[in-house]
């Protein structure tokens, strides 16, 4: 199993960044503007996100931990992947925030493609949370 970890800093306080991260239905408005263009919640609790390239993914919430400011979600049916789980966490950085996003996935062969997509996601989140 492969892992990709991305990190960036935001000048916003951790409580504010966490509030945006944990707002699962509003990722396209509060967290990753321009990378995620729309979000639709399903009765099952999954969110369907539409990316800037038109691709969609159904993301299932796993854990939302206010004390740790940590959100975990999984994608069960992503073409080309046999496993995808992600965790995002917000840490205090002297009053500002450090945002860490980690994705574990299979097969390893999709690492280069996923790394590029995550770079785009981090750039969008960094802009949104600046």
Q: Are 7 and 17 in contact (CB under 8 A)?
A: no
pTM for the full predicted model: 0.95
118 falls in which pLDDT band (50, 70, 90)? very high
pLDDT tens, 28-61? 999 999 999 999 999 999 999 999 999 999 999 9
Tell me the Ramachandran region of residue 94: left when phi exceeds 0, alpha when psi lies from -120 to 50, beta otherwise: left
pLDDT tens, 91-101? 999 999 999 99
Query: Closest by alpha carbon to 122, among 2, 4, 1?
Result: 4
Query: Closest by alpha carbon to 88, among 24, 29, 21, 34?
Result: 21
**What 3-state DSSP class applies to 52?**
coil
Split into its structural domains, the chain has a count of: 1
Domain span at residue 64 reads 2-128
CATH of residue 7: 3.30.530.20
CA 83 to chain centre: 16
Question: What does pLDDT average to over the chain?
Answer: 97
């Amino acid at each position: 199993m492969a892992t990709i970890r991305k990190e960036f800093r935001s000048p916003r306080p951790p409580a504010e960044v966490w509030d945006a991260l944990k707002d699962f239905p509003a990722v396209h408005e509060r967290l990753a503007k321009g990378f995620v263009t729309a979000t639709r919640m399903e009765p099952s609790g999954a969110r369907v996100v539409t990316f800037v390239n038109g691709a969609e993914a159904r993301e299932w919430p796993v854990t939302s931990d206010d004390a740790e400011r940590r959100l975990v979600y999984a994608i069960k049916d992503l073409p080309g992947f046999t496993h995808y789980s992600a965790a995002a966490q917000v840490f205090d950085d002297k009053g500002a925030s450090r945002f860490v996003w980690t994705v574990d996935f299979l097969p390893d062969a999709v690492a280069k493609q996923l790394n590029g997509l995550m770079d785009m996601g981090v750039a969008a989140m960094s802009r949104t949370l600046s």
